[in-house]
Structure 1
Amino acid sequence: MSDQQLIEYAKKALEKAYAPYSKFRVGAALLTKTGNIYTGCNVEIASYGATNCAERTAVWKAVSEEGKIDIEKIAIASDDEAYIYPCGICRQVMAEFAQDDMELLCSNKNGDYRTIRFGDMLPNAFRSF
């Protein structure tokens, strides 16, 4: 699967985002090392603490289907001009299921993207392994 194809999956997931409060829609596409793709979008709730990010939605879907997963890549897309990066909570969730060499494809609304190694995004991640 090419980076561009994974970004297209994330863009498609973005269309389903539920963001009535911030209007900031995000989509994510996760590729596991087994070759499966799981998508997610952000879901906002009036009580912001209960809101779930696109990246975590994709992780939860993957785990609910496969059990213990190993993430190869995650693409993140939004309809914003700026590049989109995962929040701190999402980074910690990814640390549970990804090695430092996992690639994050952080894109903008034009489809331009930056590839970031997960270990560079969250150095010295708290892990049990």
Structure 2
Amino acid sequence: MTQLFQDVKKDLTVKPNWMGDAVFKEMKEYWESPKFKSKSEQNKKNRDANVGASLDTGGCIPHRVIWKRMKETTGKESSVLDFYFLTHSKEKDKSWVNEKAQAAFNKFEKRKKNY
């Protein structure tokens, strides 16, 4: 749903066929308001400040739910490393979300072997 609204905001001259006229008008007014633009700019600054952070790919799904789904899928308890890899790698190509996530994984794995 978020992606749908992001696509609509890119071109406010075209009302999508799935959105009612009154809703589009209200959303357009809000997106063009100084209040929204200010909040949007602050959120952009906040995201930029987190560059290099170890991002996870779970979105709004709580980790306990992801852990439970992993167990249901595999039929067994997953390791912490498996869980970390799942929540810090890209689904499409299984690459790390960023270098910091990979470094944290490698550091943890190294400590585990030395323990």
Q: TM-score, normalised by structure 1?
A: 0.25
Higher normalized helix content (fraction of residues): 2
After TM superposition, the score normalised by the length of structure 2 is 0.27
Bigger fraction of residues in strand: 1
Q: Which has the larger radius of gyration?
A: 2
